[in-house]
Amino acid sequence: MRFERLKNISSAHIYNLRDTPDYRAKSVTVGKTKSVQAAIGVRGKPNPEGKPGHLRVDTVHQGDLDKVKGIYNLNLVDEVTQWEVVASVEAISEAWMDEVLKDALTMFPFRIRGFHSDNGGEFINKQVAGMLSGLLVKQSKSRSGRTNDNALVEGKNGSVIRKHMGYWHIARHHAPEVHRFYMGRFNVYLNYHRPCGFATVTVDEKGKRHKKYKVYQTPYEALKKLPNARQYLKKGVTFRQLDKIAMAESDNECARLMQEEKYKLFRKVQTEGSKLLQNGGLA
């Protein structure tokens, strides 16, 4: 028999053989990585069809210090008008995200129709899905390997949040103060007084798309220029109300006040951070 001579080998010797490199190399089995499938949100790039209310959403981490996480910035951008709302949260867990996300959605003057994010668990979870479902908002998520699916908000992460807030650490307990700055001053500046570039897309004879940025306007101006724009506003919101916000300050005045509030916030955060470092680090 083929295995007859093996019957007299002791169990101890078999264990010795198992410890040899040759045995381990031949016996090892490697399982392929299995993708996690979450039945929340439609996978695909949304098509707003020229209508406002289709949001692109992402989070931006505000740095680590001594292996301690800082705050997270929540960034929501409308695809058509580039209306942008930035919020702050202590952590991106479901418990922290729910209330801040609701607060951010109320800042949009038009009805929300779509909510698109990457596949991170801070948005792809039952709590967020339930909230969006209650608001009749369609939730979608980026496709695998399609890095441009959420390019709009990722570009805003750099040109808006990183430009103004930088990469430095802001401790988690400052999240409410940063959130108040965003809601009280920063978002008004972004939407009523900061011009954005709007691309004009042309297609050549080979079918290749080309973008040129010739139109620069604020998100509020872009909203008002939409055909029959009033139909998109939330119930109880009028352009007369929005015009008062837009005309309350000049562009330069609003930018100056925003910068003053930002520097005041930074001085408080930096002063506290310096004291913590002098006392031996974070508590």
Higher pLDDT, 73 or 130: 73
Each residue of 109-126: pLDDT tens digit? Answer: 999 999 998 888 778 888
Q: Alpha-carbon distance 87 to 121, whole Å? A: 18
Closest CA to 42 of 144, 113, 138, 152: 138
Q: Alpha-carbon distance 279 to 176, whole Å? A: 24
Sequence-distant (6+) residues with CB within 8 A of 49 are none
Residue 234 has pLDDT above 90, yes or no: yes
Closest CA to 92 of 127, 66, 67: 127
Q: Is residue 61 part of a domain?
A: yes
At 280 the pLDDT is: 46
Q: Is residue 2 part of a domain?
A: no
User: Which range in 69-78, 85-94, 264-273 is most confidently predicted, on average pLDDT?
Assistant: 69-78
Instruction: Please give the tally of structural domains in the chain.
Output: 1
At 276 the pLDDT is: 46
CATH number, domain of 105, equals: 3.30.420.10
Higher pLDDT, 163 or 133: 163
Q: Is residue 200 part of a domain?
A: yes
Q: Alpha-carbon distance 120 to 117, whole Å? A: 8
CA triple 238-76-244, angle to 5 deg: 25
* Residue 264 tokens, joined: 């005041």
Domain span at residue 265 reads 53-278
Radius of gyration of the chain (CA): 26
Sequence-distant (6+) residues with CB within 8 A of 269 are 170, 171, 174
Cα–Cα distances (Å) from 148 to 46, 79, 276, in that order, read: 12, 13, 41
Q: Is residue 43 part of a domain?
A: no
Closest CA to 102 of 181, 183, 161: 183
Q: Alpha-carbon distance 207 to 201, whole Å? A: 12
Q: Is residue 283 part of a domain?
A: no
Cα–Cα distances (Å) from 113 to 30, 118, 191, 248, in that order, read: 44, 17, 19, 29
Kindly tell me the burial class for residue 115, based on how many C-beta atoms sit within 10 Å of its own C-beta (0-12, 13-18, 19 or more).
buried
Residue 169 has pLDDT above 70, yes or no: yes
Sequence-distant (6+) residues with CB within 8 A of 8 are none
Q: Is residue 79 part of a domain?
A: yes
Would strands 209-217 and 196-203 be described as parallel, antiparallel, or unpaired?
Answer: antiparallel
pLDDT band at 23 (very low <50, low <70, confident <90, very high): confident
At 257 the pLDDT is: 97
Q: How far out from the chain centre does Cα 160 lie? A: 12
- Three-class SS state of 63: coil
Closest CA to 249 of 194, 208, 202, 206: 194
Q: Is residue 18 part of a domain?
A: no
Q: Is residue 8 part of a domain?
A: no
